[in-house]
Amino acid sequence: MNNRLLTIALALTASVALQAAEKSNGLAPEVTDLNAADVSYALEHKLPYLKQPFLSAAPGDRKDGIPVGKLGGDGGNKELVLNYARELAKPSKNEKSGKTDSLLVAYRGKLIFEAYFRRGRANYPHYQMSITKSYTAMGVGRAIQLGHLSIEDLDKPVVGFLKDLSPDKMVNGADKITLHEAMHMSSGIRLQPDQVKELRKTPKTLKGQGQIQAYLQHSDPIPPAPRTFKYQASDPALAMQVVDAVVPGSAKDFIHNELLGRMGISNYGWQADLSGLPKSAAGSSFRSRDMLKMGMLILDEGKWQGNQLIPADFIKRATSPLKLSYGKSNYGYFWWVEDFEVGGKTYRGKQGRGAGGQFIFMFPEIDLVAVVTAHNKGMGKMLRTLPQKLIPAFVTQ
């Protein structure tokens, strides 16, 4: 089949899938017989591709706390959104992009479009890389809301919260790193690759706060603030350790019960780090709809279904451009901030980003949230193209 015929065939397939979804109850494809033991990065790679894309302009109500509506009727240019979804459904010509698994769009607090492709399933948690850092930030925010931390504590040294450390063995300046600095990748910690390899040979020494002891003991000396931005695993690990130290019980149980549980998120995975705590740099798995909840929580300034789960001022800090990172991208508390020019106007975008293509896009000015999951080698194309494709669908109606 030549390329032109293939394109026509795919367009017809997408159209049939959309018509079927609109005539049905709108529920997306699922993995059957799913249980918690089935959630893993390795098993996700064994999911067969869907025979045809599922596109729904009227998502079904799964009774999961997400209000639903209809694309077009509740906002959005239906054809523009559908055309973009059909583009994502096409076979990729580039090995590094185009393997999108899901696209969800919420406008003004309602899920109005839901699509699954390839390995995407409504009930299967998708592996999350660096966007796990963003969820870690929300754990810190929840601890503040419940009084285990305060906003003022963000500007205090991390070592003050971690009582099992040995300060006399740390490098100079380690006792000055604040939680605020760690949460926008400005701790100043620098470990040489050969040191990391050596430390990993004795995993028992990295249990509990031993992981942080190793970072602060074997780092190069910590320079005075302000420090340069460096995207690394040590900084979110500091934040997760603080959560574990200040909340009742463990960070794992606290995040499960007090953050995710409050949002109705139970079908997820979160791997353990060498410390025994939840991984904070990468290693969680969430369903696309639950990722959407995170974006909606942020746009509602920390409220979920009317309840203040995270302080509004923390949300504002976490999603503000605290530090210039790469190119035009800025960084908040493990959330990215970047402005996009679309149609001659600039729109602020706030994102959670994961390597390989896990995104939560938030555009506060137009009350729009979009979630994407993929299994790519890269993610740059999606970051550039989604704002250009979706924003016009909601500002030129």
Assigned token pair, 293: 């909840």
Confirm if 12 and 6 have CB atoms less than 8 A apart: no
- The predicted pLDDT at position 7 comes to 35
Question: What is the predicted pLDDT for the residue at 35?
Answer: 67
CB distance 324 to 101 below 8 Å: no
Q: Judge whether 153 lies within some domain.
A: yes
Query: Does residue 52 belong to any structural domain of this protein?
Result: yes
What is the per-residue burial (b if ≥16 Cβ within 10 Å, else e) of 166-184? eeeebbebbebbbbbbbbb
* Residue 94 and residue 161 in one domain: no
Q: Does residue 225 sit within a domain? A: yes
Q: Rounded CA gap, 374 and 377, in Å?
A: 9
Q: Looking at the structure, tell me whether residues 91 and 138 fall in a common domain.
A: no
The distance in angstroms from the start CA to the end CA of the chain is: 37
Give the SS3 label for residue 292.
helix
**Which residue in this structure is represented by tokens 């679309």?**
342
Q: Are the C-beta atoms of 292 and 264 separated by less than 8 Å?
A: no
Give the number of domains in the chain: 2
Give a yes or no: residue 217 inside a domain.
Answer: yes
Instruction: Tell me the C-alpha distance between 202 and 192, whole Å.
Output: 17
Domain boundary among 231, 261, 291: 261
How far apart CA 123 and CA 28 sit, in angstroms, is 9
Pair 154, 116 in one domain: no
pLDDT of residue 23: 39
Torsion of CA 174, 175, 177, 180, to 10 degrees: 160
Q: Are 96 and 111 in contact (CB under 8 A)?
A: no
Q: Within a domain: residue 226? A: yes
Cα radius of gyration (the chain): 21
Q: At what angle do helices 193-200 and 210-218 cross, to 10 degrees?
A: 150
pLDDT at position 5 is 36
Q: Which of 371, 375, 323 is nearest to 351 (CA)?
A: 371
Measured CA to CA, the distance from residue 319 to residue 100 in angstroms comes to 25
Print pLDDT tens along the chain (397 aa). 443 333 333 333 434 444 444 433 457 899 877 666 678 888 888 899 999 999 999 999 999 999 999 999 999 999 999 999 999 999 888 777 789 999 999 999 999 999 999 999 999 999 999 999 999 999 999 999 999 999 999 999 999 999 999 999 999 999 999 999 999 999 999 998 888 888 989 999 999 999 999 999 999 999 999 999 999 999 999 999 999 999 999 999 999 999 999 999 999 999 999 999 999 999 999 999 999 999 999 999 999 999 999 999 999 999 999 999 988 899 999 999 999 999 999 999 999 999 999 999 999 999 999 999 999 876 778 899 999 999 999 997 5
Type of residue numbered 47 = L
Distance between CA atoms of 385 and 348, rounded to whole angstroms?
Answer: 15
Nearest-5° angle of CA 142, CA 296, CA 365?
A: 120
Do 92 and 174 fall within a single domain?
no
What pLDDT was estimated at residue 153?
98
**Residue 139 and residue 204 share a domain:** yes
Q: Based on the domain organization, do 16 and 95 belong to the same domain? A: yes
Say yes or no: 5 and 57 in one domain.
yes
On whether both 197 and 150 belong to a single domain, the answer is yes
Q: Are 144 and 238 within one domain?
A: yes
Q: What is the pLDDT of residue 36?
A: 61
CA 349 – CA 134 distance, rounded (Å): 15
How would you class 195 by CB atoms within 10 Å of its CB: exposed for 0-12, middle for 13-18, buried for 19 or more? middle
Whether omega before 364 lies within 30 degrees of 0, making that bond cis, reads no
Two tokens, residue 18: 């959309």
CA angle (321, 327, 331) in 5-degree steps? 25
Whether 203 maps to a domain, the answer reads yes
Element (H, E) at 85: helix 78-89
- Would you state the pLDDT for residue 223? 97
**CATH at 250:** 3.40.710.10
Domain contains 365? no
| Domain end (from 217, 237, 261) | 261
Are 391 and 346 in contact by the 8 Å Cβ rule? The answer is no
pTM of the entire predicted model: 0.92
Which residues fall within 8 angstroms of residue 374, CB to CB, at 6 or more apart? 99, 100, 101, 356, 357, 358, 382
- The answer on 146 and 233 residing in a single domain is yes
DSSP state of 279: P
Q: CA 31 to CA 24: how far, in whole Å?
A: 18
- Same domain for 115 and 183, yes or no, is no
Q: Both 184 and 219 in a single domain?
A: yes
Q: Could you say which of 261, 290, 306 is where a domain stops?
A: 261
314 found inside a domain: no
Expressed as residue numbers, the domain containing 96 is 1-75+86-101+111-120
pLDDT of residue 38: 73
